[in-house]
Amino acid sequence: MEVALRRSAALVARNNRGLPAVAALAAAANSRSFSLSSLTRPPPNYPGHVPLSGIEKAALAIGSGLMSLRDPRRGDLIAAFAEATATPYFIYRLRDAMLASPTGRRILRDRPRITSTSLNLPHLRRLPAGTVGHTYVAWLDREGVSPDTRAAVRHIDDAECAYVMQRYRECHDFYHALTGLPVVREGEVALKAFEFANTLLPMTGLSVLAAGTMKERERARFRAIYLPWALRNGLRAKEVINVYWEEVLERDVDGLRRELGVEPPPDLRVIRKREREERRRRTAAEEAARRGGGGG
């Protein structure tokens, strides 16, 4: 048995609090010197690449998958699971979808990156309301999100496919802005369902199971509204990975939605706010009734 497995098992056994077990596995997987098998590994295929054996990928997939079900907003866990499960088929299918599109081929050739610097966020804030760029940066500001927080891809062996995963990862916030879904758990799960129907990446499908961790009223709303919306729109929409976002920032966002075949869902923040206000009114009415009854 490899030293890698013994050390990973020991890390998991000791991990009762603090760093999640999957973080220990990921830390081991990301170390070039943690196992004897690393001595026989080929050199990395691109900067930051860390090849993993089949056993190591399976351990990373299981640990990160289980932990991400508990919290679908943990980007590090979702990233680890995505890379461990994307091969041997799914990331190649997404790469082939890009190769089949003239725009997708240009993206693969240019390999642009999405960061706060490359997009010039101050300029986007000055764009007219209703443009793609203004909608995107307004969503970032409202949700308190930065495009600079996406982890680098490390465990996909093919360099081109690694870029495809990186591009998908960095475009995620554009999908949020396109749909208007917030970063609350319910919104993240709804967007993952949309992405699964559109990309078939296993990570996005597993994330949908996190709906089981929602409150009952959230699960009911997800089943009745957001899951049907996600599947319908994800299946009928064009491959969103082929949008060259950097080139459409000044376009009308509603026009882009129509072109892609994406219908925005009901505004989740508005629904949640309305429910909170209704609960406060109901609580106040019940309290007033109790005080009135006590005084009689």
Q: What is the pLDDT of residue 33?
A: 45
Peptide bond before 72: cis, by omega within 30 degrees of 0? Answer: no
Q: What is the pLDDT of residue 295?
A: 53
- Residues in the chain predicted with pLDDT less than 70, given as ranges, are 1-40, 69, 71-73, 293-296
Q: What is the pLDDT of residue 72?
A: 62
Distance CA 46, CA 171 (A): 21
Query: What does the block give as tokens for 213?
Result: 């961790």
CA 153-150-138 angle, 5° bins: 150
Query: What does the block give as tokens for 136?
Result: 């995107």
Q: What is the pLDDT of residue 162?
A: 95
Q: What is the pLDDT of residue 137?
A: 97
188 is known to lie in a ligand binding site: yes
pLDDT one-digit tens code per residue, 46-67: 898 988 888 888 888 888 777 7
Helices in 71-215 by DSSP H: which ranges? 75-85, 90-99, 102-110, 116-119, 121-126, 132-143, 159-179, 185-199, 202-208
Long-range contacts of 65-68 (CB under 8 A, 24+ apart): 65/206, 66/22, 67/20, 67/21, 67/22, 68/206, 68/207, 68/210
**Phi, psi dihedrals of residue 98, rounded to the nearest 5°:** -70, -40
Going by C-beta distance under 8 Å and a sequence separation of 6 or more, which residues neighbour residue 121? 137, 140
The identity of residue 4, as a single letter, is A
The identity of residue 117, as a single letter, is T
The identity of residue 172, as a single letter, is H
Query: What does the block give as tokens for 150?
Result: 């996406």
Q: What is the pLDDT of residue 45?
A: 86
Distance CA 223, CA 96 (A): 32
134 is known to lie in a ligand binding site: no
Distance CA 176, CA 191 (A): 7
As separate numbers, helices (DSSP H) first and strands (DSSP E) second, the chain gives 16, 0
49 is known to lie in a ligand binding site: no
Residues in a beta bridge with 162: none
